[in-house]
Amino acid sequence: MTHDIWIVTCVLLATIIAFVLDRFRLDVVAFVSLLSLLLTGILTPTEATAGFSNSLVLMIAGLFVVGGAILESGVADLAGRWLGRVGGTSTTRLTVTVMLASALLSAFLSSTGTVAVMLPVVLSLCRRAEVAPSKLLIPLAFAASLGGMLTLIGTPPNMVVNQELRDAGLEVFQFFSFAPAGILMLTLGIVFMCTIGTRLLPKQGTGAEDATQFQGFVSRPELIHSYGVGGQIREIRLPHGSTFAGRTLRDLELRTTFHVNVLAVSTPGARGPVVRKCNPDTLLQPGDTLFIKSSNEEATTNLIRQGQMELVASPASLPKEVHLAELIIPPRSEFVGRTVRDIDFFRMYGAMVLALQDRNKPVRTRTSDTPLGPGDTLLVAANASALKRLRKSRNNVLLVSEQEEQRESPLTPAARWVVVILIGMLVAMSTGIVANVTAVLVAAALMVIVGAFRGSNAYQSINWESIVMIASVMPLATALEKTGALDLVVGAIVERPGLTSPRTLLLLLFAVTSLLSQAISNTATSVLIAPLALELSDQLAVSPYPLLMGVALAASTAFSTPVASPINALVTGAGGYRFGDFLKVGVPLQFLILIATLSIVPYLFPFNP
């Protein structure tokens, strides 16, 4: 091997290892790899930056905006809540309904966005039907992955293999070219989960002991009981003569001095008690009632004694203006590894964190000083405006349960326009009236124009980590081809007669892609494997379409580990799953998809060019 091939190989291996270890952000790892190839002279500046101007990257960015508009406008939420009317109470019927709805949404939305929308809905269905969440959440996640097989925009790997064909000057896949194979895979997935899969999934009591957790819309007592904070919430009054009267909460420093959090302040009024906005500048007056939370009973006693206050009730009856909600930390949240104090959660959202659970186990140490991890859940107290902010913060915190009284209409005034624009984009892409990237970018611009969300929120809806990662990994594939490393791999395969059979080649590509997708991003995997598939098809005079279709399908089979994809990690905590649960259910399903791929893909896309 040449010196350049050694450099590219080392960079590739280092990148894959860093992806697998997952100790650094994916975009940082990919960008450092790109810089390594640029500084070593393997790539020219033009080649190194080509990914950032690639139409595929622009289209994925536009689809993030379109998907964000669908979420912000409430269209996706409305579609999800429709399940409540058709799901029934049978576990089998619920599984079929949830998987069909999840797959349909993920055919047009990102799989992570789909699960973010569906998770609260499914948990609410579990509560109503008295079904363990562990029976439905893995099917939800798997269906979101399978739904990506249905359309061109269902998942980035589909667009990656399509771009590979376009760059080679070949006829590209059409919008619904993936649908025939995708429908078969989805059908297999549903049948498997309703028969064998449901028996392999953990039952209630193996990670979902508390039936009151993760239930969509629940009563206030249920939320308080599930986190065990009922006895920690108290109601105290400032009588005339209290030493705390006439002072602000900032002056009193209740949190640092007495380890007490003030949830609300109620002041007597002519028409009844008035609950005031609680912040550091809130001025306490004689006759005020404070609703406080503290796990230290002695500290609360000292507070009452020093402030010459009166204990009214313990546990307290919180005023209706104080709403309780349950949040889950998504895998790629910026809050992972940080504490509530570091985040300054109250300043950011106006919500007070009452309790924290790590994979369904209460954290006994001080909540504000405990680093947050993926799948951790928070119980918060908030007012109505804070709840709205929390609902929109899907990237960092996902609201999965809130008290029953807080139901609200999910649709915004722009929802009707969002549906029209979405349909127009899909028609344009499926008919080929304009280029796919043009249709997506126009739709993204129109979403902002019609007010689906403000322009700044449109930028926030883009997953920049994914965009930078994809744009940085694409030149790595260029380096493999430029240095001859790709030809070296192709030559090694071609020289082995046992691997040159088209069906064996499809099996090999599927296996490698599927295996890598369990550990690293399926987009990065497809960016690396798609050029190999195309080169092999050229060397062996085999049609590239079945091989590239096999790569795309394999990239959507991230079933076997909780870290195989963000959506698996997202349901792990809510379902109380363990690593082995994904192995037991995921591995058999992957083999089924492999067998189906070897059977149906050559029929739909013959090997003969």
Does residue 566 contact residue 112 with C-beta atoms inside 8 Å? yes
- Reply yes or no on whether the pLDDT at 343 is more than 60: yes
Residue-wise pLDDT for 238-266, tens only, equals 888 888 888 888 888 777 777 788 888 88
Task: Please work out, in degrees rounded to the nearest 5, the angle formed at the alpha carbon of residue 171 by the alpha carbons of 168 and 174.
Answer: 125
- Reply yes or no on whether the pLDDT at 139 is more than 90: yes
* Residue 80 confidence (pLDDT): 66
What is the edge-to-edge ordering of all strands in the sheet holding 361-362? 216-218, 398-403, 323-328, 377-382, 352-358, 361-362
Q: Which is more confident, 599 or 466?
A: 599
* Residue 22 confidence (pLDDT): 67
In angstroms, what CA-CA distances link 573 with 112, 167, 170, 460, 578?
A: 15, 42, 44, 26, 9
- Reply yes or no on whether the pLDDT at 463 is more than 60: yes
- Of the candidate CATH numbers 3.30.70.1450, 1.10.8.60, 3.40.50.460, 3.30.70.1060, the domain formed by 239-308 belongs to 3.30.70.1450
Q: Which is more confident, 377 or 224?
A: 377
- Residue 278 pLDDT grade (very low, low, confident, very high; cuts 50, 70, 90): confident
Of the candidate ranges 101-105, 139-143, 432-436, the one whose mean pLDDT is the lowest: 432-436
Mean pLDDT on 97-125: 83
* Residue 600 confidence (pLDDT): 94
What's the rounded Cα separation, in Å, for the pair 525 and 522? 5
Two structure tokens written together for 470: 């994809």
Strand ranges, E, within 182-322:
216-218, 233-237, 261-267, 274-276, 289-293, 310-313
Q: Which is more confident, 358 or 4?
A: 4
* Residue 177 confidence (pLDDT): 92
Task: Please work out, in degrees rounded to the nearest 5, the angle formed at the alpha carbon of residue 427 by the alpha carbons of 425 and 431.
Answer: 120
What's the rounded Cα separation, in Å, for the pair 7 and 527? 19
* Residue 497 confidence (pLDDT): 66
- Reply yes or no on whether the pLDDT at 604 is more than 60: yes
- Reply yes or no on whether the pLDDT at 539 is more than 50: yes
Neighbours of 535 (CB within 10 A): 21
- Reply yes or no on whether the pLDDT at 358 is more than 80: no
Comparing C-alpha atoms, which of 13, 145, 153 is closest to residue 444? 153
Mean pLDDT on 310-325: 77
| Domain chopping of the chain, boundaries | 3-206+419-604, 239-308
Q: Give a three-class secondary structure readout of 332-375.
A: CCCCCCCCHHHHCHHHHHCCEEEEEEECCEECCCCHHHCCCCCC
- Residue 193 pLDDT grade (very low, low, confident, very high; cuts 50, 70, 90): very high
Does residue 330 contact residue 566 with C-beta atoms inside 8 Å? yes
Highest mean pLDDT among 52-61, 215-224, 353-362: 52-61
Q: Which is more confident, 558 or 186?
A: 186
Two structure tokens written together for 314: 């313990």
Q: Which is more confident, 64 or 400?
A: 64
Two structure tokens written together for 8: 């590219």
* Residue 266 confidence (pLDDT): 85
Of the candidate ranges 198-212, 329-343, 353-367, 447-461, the one whose mean pLDDT is the lowest: 198-212
- Reply yes or no on whether the pLDDT at 37 is more than 80: yes
Mean pLDDT on 143-163: 91
* Residue 85 confidence (pLDDT): 67
Q: Is 308 helix (H, G, I), strand (E, B) or coil?
A: coil
* Burial annotation 305-332 (CB, 10 A radius, 16+ → b, else e): eebebeeeeeebebbeebbbbbbbbbbb
Does residue 505 contact residue 532 with C-beta atoms inside 8 Å? no
Mean pLDDT on 382-389: 80
Neighbours of 237 (CB within 10 A): 17
Of the candidate ranges 358-362, 388-392, 414-418, the one whose mean pLDDT is the lowest: 358-362
* Residue 206 confidence (pLDDT): 35
Mean pLDDT on 2-20: 84
Of the candidate ranges 38-52, 419-433, 455-469, the one whose mean pLDDT is the lowest: 455-469
> 128 in the Ramachandran plot: left (φ > 0), alpha (ψ -120 to 50) or beta?
alpha
- Residue 594 pLDDT grade (very low, low, confident, very high; cuts 50, 70, 90): very high
HSE-CB of 461 using CA atoms within 13 angstroms = 28
In angstroms, what CA-CA distances link 506 with 103, 489, 550?
A: 25, 16, 7
* Residue 318 confidence (pLDDT): 76
Amino acid type, 124: S
* Residue 144 confidence (pLDDT): 92
Q: Which is more confident, 468 or 130?
A: 468
* Burial annotation 34-72 (CB, 10 A radius, 16+ → b, else e): bebbbeeebbeeebbbbbbebbbbbbbbbbbbbbbbbbb
* Residue 592 confidence (pLDDT): 94
- Residue 364 pLDDT grade (very low, low, confident, very high; cuts 50, 70, 90): low
* Residue 26 confidence (pLDDT): 77
In angstroms, what CA-CA distances link 58 with 128, 156, 286, 534?
A: 42, 12, 60, 23
Residue-wise pLDDT for 483-503, tens only, equals 877 777 767 776 676 667 888
Two structure tokens written together for 137: 């959440």
Mean pLDDT for the chain overall: 82
Q: DSSP states of 551-607 as a string?
A: HHHHHT---SSTTSSHHHHHHHHHHT--HHHHHHHHHHHHHHHHHHHHHHHHHHS-S
Residue-wise pLDDT for 179-189, tens only, equals 999 999 999 99
Of the candidate ranges 55-59, 354-358, 586-590, the one whose mean pLDDT is the lowest: 354-358
What's the rounded Cα separation, in Å, for the pair 12 and 476? 8
Q: DSSP states of 386-445 as a string?
A: HHHHHHH-TTT-EEEEEEGGG------TTHHHHHHHHHHHHHHHHHTSS-HHHHHHHHHH
